[in-house]
Amino acid sequence: MDTKSTLLINYLVTSVAFNFIFPCYQVQNNFFHYSSSIGSFPKDERLFGVVLLLGGLYMFYVSLKNLKLKRLIENIPTSKMRSVAMGLAELKGKIEVNNKILEDPFDKKKCVFWRVHIEERVKRGKHGKWITRHKAKDHVPFFISDESGSVLVQLRGANMDDVRRDSQYETALFFSEKLPLNVRNYCNKNRIRFRGLFGGKRRMRCRVTYLEPNDNIYVLGHARPLLQKEINNSKRATAAIEFVKNGVFIVSDKSEKDLIEEMGGQSWIIPLGIILSGLGLGLFLDVFG
């Protein structure tokens, strides 16, 4: 999303806020005062105000952080493996196996990274929500390669949130098949309950993500010279890339264009976060007015 589009969206969100949300706030505020005066609608405005304030600040912080990351990705040039400079670097290439390879626990795919997330649908009153019952992941060092050479990727500390989910297995309470045998075996091995009382089914959702050899990936992180122990097993690698404290380290199988579009698409949340936090602060302070 370009700068003009971002500015236009921010303008529209702000306009909606001033022409709709703020008037609604006045109506709601007057309603609260009227209800309190007649004693028929007790309402803790302070709590509601604090929730709005904190929620708005969180939305603002996360969106601003993503916007800064988007601009960083847009402005940093892509390096060739052979000529990568030390420090923050952007790389694009294919995964090559180093000297170790893994197998994901569900689909039995050869990979250099896998992640499993198992949830259960739990009823809370009239509604339900997904509760995490199990999380696990594993990874090994690997190479990212292009036609010019390779760079060793040390995944520890990497942000892997933008790796696409590969498989999902889910059950419903009625009229659904059981979880596949491979998933049930994994649950039994890790003592994850997927059966209810008397052998009945629980509603489960099991997701797995992995990176396979020859996958195209995007990497943004800190490049450094190879250590001596890495040189011995590094084929034609020219450097290593890894996480450093207070630094950026992203590994994704999405394209640079997709990452930029996803992060840019959240820019409208920045003014919305400011608006919500302002409304929350107004409600909170109004209690003492």
Our count of domains for the chain comes to: 2
Strand pairing category for 113-124 and 127-139:
antiparallel
Average pLDDT, the chain: 78
Judgement on whether residues 139 and 239 belong to the same structural domain of the protein: yes
pLDDT in tens, 274-284: 666 666 666 55
Q: Tell me the Cα Rg of the chain.
A: 25
Whole-number pLDDT of residue 32: 47
pTM of the complete model: 0.71
Whole-number pLDDT of residue 9: 46
Domain that holds residue 255: 79-260
Instruction: Look at residue 245 and tell me whether its pLDDT is greater than 60.
Output: yes
Look at 49 and 159; give whichever has higher pLDDT.
Answer: 159
pLDDT bracket for residue 1 (50, 70, 90): very low
Whole-number pLDDT of residue 201: 67
Judgement on whether residues 62 and 164 belong to the same structural domain of the protein: no
Judgement on whether residues 106 and 205 belong to the same structural domain of the protein: yes
Judgement on whether residues 66 and 85 belong to the same structural domain of the protein: no
Judgement on whether residues 256 and 156 belong to the same structural domain of the protein: yes
Judgement on whether residues 208 and 68 belong to the same structural domain of the protein: no
CB 38 within 8 A of CB 260: no
Strands (E) in 101-247, as ranges, are 102-103, 110-111, 113-124, 127-139, 142-146, 149-153, 167-170, 204-211, 216-224, 237-242
Judgement on whether residues 44 and 177 belong to the same structural domain of the protein: no
Judgement on whether residues 44 and 184 belong to the same structural domain of the protein: no
Judgement on whether residues 56 and 113 belong to the same structural domain of the protein: no
Judgement on whether residues 100 and 243 belong to the same structural domain of the protein: yes
Judgement on whether residues 210 and 183 belong to the same structural domain of the protein: yes
Lowest mean pLDDT among 22-31, 55-64, 128-137: 22-31
Judgement on whether residues 231 and 281 belong to the same structural domain of the protein: no
